[in-house]
Amino acid sequence: LKQHPSTNYNITSKFSSPIFINVQVNGKRQHAIIDTGSAVSIINQQLLKNIHHKKFMYKHKSHKSANSTSINIIGEIQLEIKIQGHTTLILADVATNIITDLLLGNDWIAENNVIIDSPQRHIFLTDKYYQIIATTPFIKPPDIHLPILLIDEI
């Protein structure tokens, strides 16, 4: 048997990190994650407290994240998401315990015919004929401080 040397793949955080873009949410400049793994869009309760918004609808529900962590949803809110002057609307869940401020899920992605161009590091919003309405580049991910949880006691 002839042995072949193993191939090492270097995946930089540039390509393996979540997709972040700049948006305006209800008139406030903000970064957002584009999350194809999330069925719904979610805003952090702390961000919601800092922006002008319409009437908050209390509605308790629970979602599970990709790693099975429970996401505590306390209600829903209609948000205006603006990209390059193009306005979109979304009914987003409001969470008390997500680590990012704004997550745009598959509900927003599908509603706006979003095309994610990873090699060019852009997203495109298109009309029903897939003509480009707006585009925005990916941005460098902000520093997110994750909690570290111990599996066993020390």
Return the domain boundaries, the chain. Answer: 17-137
> Which pLDDT belongs to residue 74?
96
Q: Quick one: which of 19, 148, 33 has its CA closest to 81?
A: 33
Tens-digit pLDDT profile for residues 43-102 = 999 999 999 988 889 998 888 888 888 899 999 999 999 999 999 999 999 999 998 999
> Which pLDDT belongs to residue 54?
85
Question: Does residue 150 carry a pLDDT above 70?
Answer: no
CATH of domain 17-137: 2.40.70.10
